[in-house]
Chain A
Amino acid sequence: MKHPFRKLILALKLALISFLPLLAIDADAQLTARANHDHITVDFFYHGGTVSVSGISDPGTDLVIKVASEDAHQNLRKKGKVGGLLWMTVGELEVENVPNFYEIFSTKKLDDIISRDEMEKHGIGFPALRQHAVLNVATEEEKSKWFDEFVRFKSDSNLYAINSGNITLSEKNGMQNYYILTRWPYQAPPGNYTVTVYAIKEGKVIETATSNVNVEQVGIVKALATMAKSNGALYGILSILAALGAGFGVGLIFRKSEGAH
């Protein structure tokens, strides 16, 4: 029997089938992200901490976790060869639109799980950062060279890092649990950091979830840092008086100990 609308129904069915997976993902979408130890307090004995990020994602998705501070303006000194012989400061490098802190973790190597376009779109990976960055240099070639130097400089002080294959995955009740425990470098200055988790399928980001990490100075550390910034004159005078006192004090102690024998 031939139904007059057979073709139409077939088309609808086809459309439904092809959209189903997408609908299904949306319906099951439950990427979650939670940063534990998300409030890091910095006192005198602070030597870095640990941060763990965990959550649930769809089975079979790859994950990229980005921890970054807000984009900022950064000033650095450039070294170069002068007269073909001597290394010295040759000017300032100004870098705009890049975070001071940037770390990436992923289930596999970035290039194996996510397309270049998506990386650029979501600011994942150093090439994507370079794309966004604005440097005070004349040519693209120069930009590329100095951005690489910038990344080396940041990596050297543990502020930039890209790690892959260090997210632990486990299946539970048909869902995928992910977990990562990472050392938080003491070089990362106080401030707010955003943790963004990207769920990736077939090279595309299908979902994101965010969380925060806050690093804050407390107690005397905070008092000293605040005073140094907001009351430089008094801070300077106190520093000088303390140094004078210490110098005299040690002088007196030595005089006594010398007089003793």
Chain B
Amino acid sequence: MMYLYLPVALTSINILLPIGLGLAVGLLSGLFGVGGGFLMTPLLIMMGIPSTVAAATDSNQIVAASTSGTYAHWKVGNVDFKMGLYLLAGGFFGGLLGVEGIKILRAMGNADFVIKITYVLMLGTVGTYMFIESLQSIRKTNTDSAPAKKDGKVGTFLKSLPFQTEFIKSGVTHSILVPLLLGCFVGILAAIMGVGGGFLMVPIMFYILRMPMHVIVGTSLFQILFTCIEVTFLQSYANHTVDFTLAVLLLLGSTIGAQVGAVFGRKLKGEQLKILLAVIVLVVTVKIVFELTMSPSLLLSQAGGH
């Protein structure tokens, strides 16, 4: 077995583990446009990496995976940079608000409980809705991947907002306020939950922004790239918890996984991608529910980070 010592995590690891894990998470990332922190961070902790180092190093790794994935999607014209930038700008403010929000919630006491429950309910609802909706559209084989044409009240309301602009790559027209506010909303949640938010961003882009599924994946990756650059820097600067050696091992797998995922995703229809993502969101929901209800083997863990 080939072991490598990690200078910041202060532990030794079998190199096949992070490379394999990187490959799997990179695949999901290239396929669905999510960062994969939900899978990566807990598995790294299971491998003996301190939780603070696991979270920080994961963001460094996502920088590589999402660069690789964004590049692959951009080559085939599936990145809407304009939309991505508006979402990013919103997400940046959301992140700042979220960090303040946690402080207020913590001060009120029992906040973690409320946050976790809200998150589980939200993921569960989004996952179930997506699953049913994409199942229905797959049955109606003739309809294409574009969401149902009925705009409804939300659609009418969105059209009535000022500053309408056209997003050419996505083929949609929205007020710039819409991506800004949605980005902000996901940013707040991501900061509070300590996860990237890809799982909420992708469904929001589909159901509210009405973007085509393939452009969503590329644009989401583009956005995740910048978020993770910011997080990596802050974690290195303030907490000294990024383990570069571990990040390199992870990205050896994840950059390749992201390419494979992007190629594989192109062969799937939007509806198929959507239903697969719905299944994964539901699996994650179940996993979190288990984590919350099963007695942990150890009642203590390393402190620090968020």
Interface residues of A (CB under 8 A from B): 42-48, 75-80, 82-83, 85-89, 92-93, 146, 149-150, 152-153, 156-157, 186-187, 189-190, 217, 220-222, 224-225, 228-229, 232-233, 235-240, 242-244, 246-251, 254-255, 258
Contacts and interface: CB of A to CB of B under 8 A. Distances in A.
B242 interface: yes
A72 B303 CA distance: 15
A129 to B, nearest CB: 15
B71 A235 contact: no
A153 B70 CA distance: 41
Interface residues of B, number: 61
Interface of B is mostly: helix
A228 B5 contact: no
A4 to B, nearest CB: 74
B44 to A, nearest CB: 14
Interface in B227-241: 229, 232-238, 240
B242 A235 contact: yes
Contacts of A152: 298, 300
Scoring B7, B110, B237, B296 by chain A CB atoms within 10 A of each residue's CB, the highest score goes to B7
Interface in B291-306: 291-296, 298-304
15 contacts: A79-B296, A82-B113, A86-B113, A88-B113, A228-B236, A228-B240, A236-B236, A239-B242, A242-B247, A243-B251, A244-B63, A244-B64, A247-B64, A247-B258, A250-B258
A221 B245 CA distance: 9
Interface of B: 3-5, 7-8, 10-12, 48, 60-61, 63-72, 75, 110, 112-113, 116-117, 229, 232-238, 240, 242-245, 247-248, 251, 255-256, 258-259, 263, 291-296, 298-304
Contacts of B259: 250-251, 254
A189 to B, nearest CB: 5
A255 to B, nearest CB: 7
B5 A239 contact: no
Interface of A is mostly: helix
Given A76-B301, A251-B72, A242 B244 contact: yes
A55 to B, nearest CB: 30
Contact of A46 (B12, B67, B248): B12
Contact of B300 (A150, A244, A249): A150
Given A88-B116, A247-B64, A76 B300 contact: yes
Nearest to B294: A87
Contact of A248 (B67, B117, B247, B302): B67
A156 B300 CA distance: 11
Nearest to B63: A243
Nearest to A76: B300
A150 to B, nearest CB: 6
A151 to B, nearest CB: 10
Given A149-B298, A233-B236, A75 B242 contact: no
